[in-house]
Amino acid sequence: MKKVFFVLFLCLPLCKGCTDNGGKAIEAKVSETVSQMTLDEKIGVVHAQSKFSSRGVPRLGVPELWCDDGPHGVRPETLWDSWAAAGWTNDSCTAYPSLTCLAASWDRDLALLYGRSVGEEARYRKKNVLLGPGVNICRTPLCGRNFEYMGEDPYLAGEMAVPYVKGVQSNNVATCVKHFALNNQEFMRSSINVNISDRALYEIYLPAFKAAVMDGGAWSVMSSYNKYQNEWVSHQPRLLKDILKGEWGFDGAVISDWGAVHSTEGAAWGGLDLEFGTHTNGVDINTANAYDAYYLADAYKQKILAGELPESELDDKVSRALRLNFRTLQGDNCGSMCSPGHFADCRKIGSEGIVLLKNSGVLPMKTEVGKVVVLGENAIRPMVVGGSSSSLKAQHEISPLQGLREAFPEAEVVYERAYVGEPKLTGNYNYGLYDLSDPRPADVILADALAAVQDADYVVFVGGLNKNKEQDCEGKDRLAYELPYGQNEVIEAIAAARPDMIYVNISGSPVAMPFVDKVGAIVQAWYLGSEAGRAIADVLTGAVNPSGKLPFTFPVALSDGPVKTERQYPGIQDEEGNWQVYYDEDIWVGYRWYDHVAVEPLFPFGYGLSYTSFEYSDLRVPGTFSDGMKVRVRVRNTGDVAGAEVVQLYVTDEEASVDRPVKELKGFGKVYLEPGESREVEFRLNRSALSYFDESAHEWVAEPGAFKVLVGSSSRDIRAEAGFRLVR
């Protein structure tokens, strides 16, 4: 019987970036180049020269450094000096699924494929740095950028970020892990100060970045807009020097978020290496030709010449900027763009990340039927143009309606709007204004939908959010947990006529679903990119057996969650008028909270159904812990169709001297099984899996005593458990 190994790594003592191939040659070239550079040349490479590039050193043959967003595809060219699209006709891209979808796949191999694929497109577009992945933890469902990140659990986010980083960088394109750190809301993002305990910082908000740097070997990190300990993060030595470059040994470059730098001294001393986007808000405000006025430009040069700031600090920045540049000059690979393979990758990632939340038997849909009615604005709405900096100019974007029409070639596939959200839609770029306006009054739109569904074999309603402002978009948080545009009422009206209706929710955040008991099926379909409609149709028809698992909890109501007071979110102003947000919930984030307070969520972390079923047996856990301890469990496909199961491993510390979560995710593995097939899944637990962060000792501590391993199909569907002891 084939064994499957899932090994959990301890963070290695040395960040992988230092050991990448060509390391010694690059280090020699960096040292030699720095020694030959003039002060002006050094100043030139540590700040932007255009919206997305910084200078090279023409005299010494060092090319410019070009960045681009990320993380779901390569952003179209902007004008040299502005956010406006350059209007090129050869920069359309493959739009990949959002990172919440990738996280929902719980498939490390898929994350590697994703990184390789999107990295090929960045290489083809001659970008040195792809600005992603985003790994900020989902602290509140209202955060506008949850869709760009990888959920509520630091272990899952880290495990999925590492292969993405390796995949992108296998193309000799740098990743830029963002937004380091504590950028967990958009409200007042450019100035709000985060108040947080060290334990929550180290246990919840840093691990994904640490994994991306130390295990993934990320070549750059993006410093975030907000403040921490009342200092802008781009000037924050505790985060950038003590932790990132000190404790983690990061040898890459820290690139500021666009407009996140606010002083020369701060940027010089705080650990920043490359200043981008100054005098902008990172979304739409712009100051043309401001580059000499950057904080690390003329002002910095003058302070060095006056002896107020040491040139040695500049030399370290220059070395890191050159190391980043030279690492991306390796190899003769040219990448590729919009290839059939990339679209196939996109479709695979999308269908693997879709989560089946409810199925009363209506799914999978049979394709030999007469009439399918597709409802909802999100069945026709382009999504990749929204979201702000991660928005894209896709070479194509198959809508859910198009995907379903392709999947039911013999059927009559009827479309009805059912509701109108945002009729106008312009992307970040001038290339398209989608007019989705509908002259009919809302009641007529609904009446027409109700008339259409009467004799349908299937009714598929595609709703959710849409990456417009306040609907899963950078720069603004959501204003409500509920679905917008009166969708709940429309869904309930349709469900009254067709209780077997299939609800497809498109969103990058949890949403309220008061209709959960009134519909036949619910499918969580993320922002799926170019092949969205085909991925959705693959799952609805059973061409792909859904295997996604939620990367964050769907609470019944926002008030069930840990973030309850104004000071927790969106924050309050202090007596000087500065915005302060307090992470009073501390480590109790996501399922850690709902377990702690024993509140039943609508759908729990790690939850997702399949068209088949799985049985767990033979859990084997040694009685006493040893480093690398092997945990084994057998999983069998007890249904009649092939499918994949994400086996989740949680750990409980039963005798902790401090408050610890009921359980914490410390392992997972995805196994694909034919009907009747069984396989043993093996995990290895290291001491880090048992530890909590002792902030007084400033170290990770695993306390001797009784522990438990719990394995299951979700955080609330534990199939087997066994105790063991940590002796010392």
Beta carbon nearer to ligand GLC, 71 or 335: 71
**Using an 8 Å Cβ cutoff, are 138 and 98 in contact?**
no
232 binds ligand GLC per the rule CB under 6 A: no
Q: Which of 15, 46, 130, 131: binder of ligand GLC (CB under 6 A)?
A: 131
- Give me the least distance between CB of 344 and ligand GLC, in Å please: 27
389 binds ligand GLC per the rule CB under 6 A: yes
Beta carbon nearer to ligand GLC, 176 or 314: 176
- Give me the least distance between CB of 223 and ligand GLC, in Å please: 11
Beta carbon nearer to ligand GLC, 34 or 101: 101
282 binds ligand GLC per the rule CB under 6 A: yes
- Give me the least distance between CB of 136 and ligand GLC, in Å please: 10
The closest residue (CB) to ligand GLC is 282
Beta carbon nearer to ligand GLC, 390 or 610: 390
- Give me the least distance between CB of 323 and ligand GLC, in Å please: 21
127 binds ligand GLC per the rule CB under 6 A: no
Beta carbon nearer to ligand GLC, 189 or 245: 189
Distance CA 530, CA 281 (A): 29
Beta carbon nearer to ligand GLC, 131 or 506: 131
- Give me the least distance between CB of 183 and ligand GLC, in Å please: 8
Distance CA 291, CA 112 (A): 37
69 binds ligand GLC per the rule CB under 6 A: yes
Distance CA 199, CA 504 (A): 38
Q: Is residue 647 classed as helix, strand or coil in its secondary structure?
A: strand
Beta carbon nearer to ligand GLC, 226 or 399: 226
Beta carbon nearer to ligand GLC, 257 or 472: 257
Distance CA 48, CA 129 (A): 13
- Give me the least distance between CB of 281 and ligand GLC, in Å please: 7
> β-strand 193-195 against 579-582: which pairing, if any?
parallel
- Give me the least distance between CB of 69 and ligand GLC, in Å please: 5
Site string for ligand GLC, 334-373 (x = CB under 6 A): ----------------------------------------
- Give me the least distance between CB of 135 and ligand GLC, in Å please: 12
Structure tokens at 448: 């027409």
Active site residue 455: no
**Using an 8 Å Cβ cutoff, are 375 and 401 in contact?**
no
Structure tokens at 1: 């019987």
Structure tokens at 3: 């064994």
Q: Which of residues 574-633 bind ligand GLC (CB under 6 A)?
A: none
- Give me the least distance between CB of 200 and ligand GLC, in Å please: 23
**Which residue, 601, 627, 631, is CA-closest to 616?**
631
Instruction: For helices 23-36 and 311-327, give the axis angle rounded to 10 degrees.
Output: 140
> β-strand 699-701 against 692-694: which pairing, if any?
antiparallel
Beta carbon nearer to ligand GLC, 389 or 714: 389
Number of residues that bind ligand GLC (CB under 6 A): 7
236 binds ligand GLC per the rule CB under 6 A: no
Q: Which of 47, 55, 178, 381: binder of ligand GLC (CB under 6 A)?
A: 178
258 binds ligand GLC per the rule CB under 6 A: yes
Sequence-separated (6 or more) residues with CB below 8 Å from residue 240: 180, 223, 233, 234, 254, 270, 271, 272
Distance CA 395, CA 412 (A): 28
Which H or E element spans position 198?
helix 198-200
- Give me the least distance between CB of 385 and ligand GLC, in Å please: 15
Beta carbon nearer to ligand GLC, 140 or 402: 140
Q: Which of residues 645-674 bind ligand GLC (CB under 6 A)?
A: none
Distance CA 399, CA 442 (A): 23
Q: Put the strands of the sheet holding 705-714 in their side by side order.
A: 664-673, 643-653, 705-714, 717-726
- 450: exposed, middle or buried (C-beta count within 10 Å: 0-12, 13-18, 19+)? middle
Question: First vs last Cα of the chain: how many Å apart?
Answer: 35
Distance CA 151, CA 99 (A): 9
Q: Which of residues 399-438 bind ligand GLC (CB under 6 A)?
A: none
Q: Which of residues 152-171 bind ligand GLC (CB under 6 A)?
A: none
Q: Which of 91, 257, 416, 645: binder of ligand GLC (CB under 6 A)?
A: 257
Which residue among 68, 107, 215, 257 is the active-site one? 257
91 binds ligand GLC per the rule CB under 6 A: no
**Using an 8 Å Cβ cutoff, are 643 and 666 in contact?**
no
Q: Put the strands of the sheet holding 227-228 in their side by side order.
A: 231-232, 227-228, 193-195, 579-582, 572-573
- 25: exposed, middle or buried (C-beta count within 10 Å: 0-12, 13-18, 19+)? exposed
Distance CA 659, CA 576 (A): 35
- Give me the least distance between CB of 134 and ligand GLC, in Å please: 7
Beta carbon nearer to ligand GLC, 76 or 608: 76
- 482: exposed, middle or buried (C-beta count within 10 Å: 0-12, 13-18, 19+)? middle
**Using an 8 Å Cβ cutoff, are 195 and 582 in contact?**
yes
Annotated catalytic residues are: 257
Binding site for ligand GLC (CB under 6 A): 69, 131, 178, 257-258, 282, 389
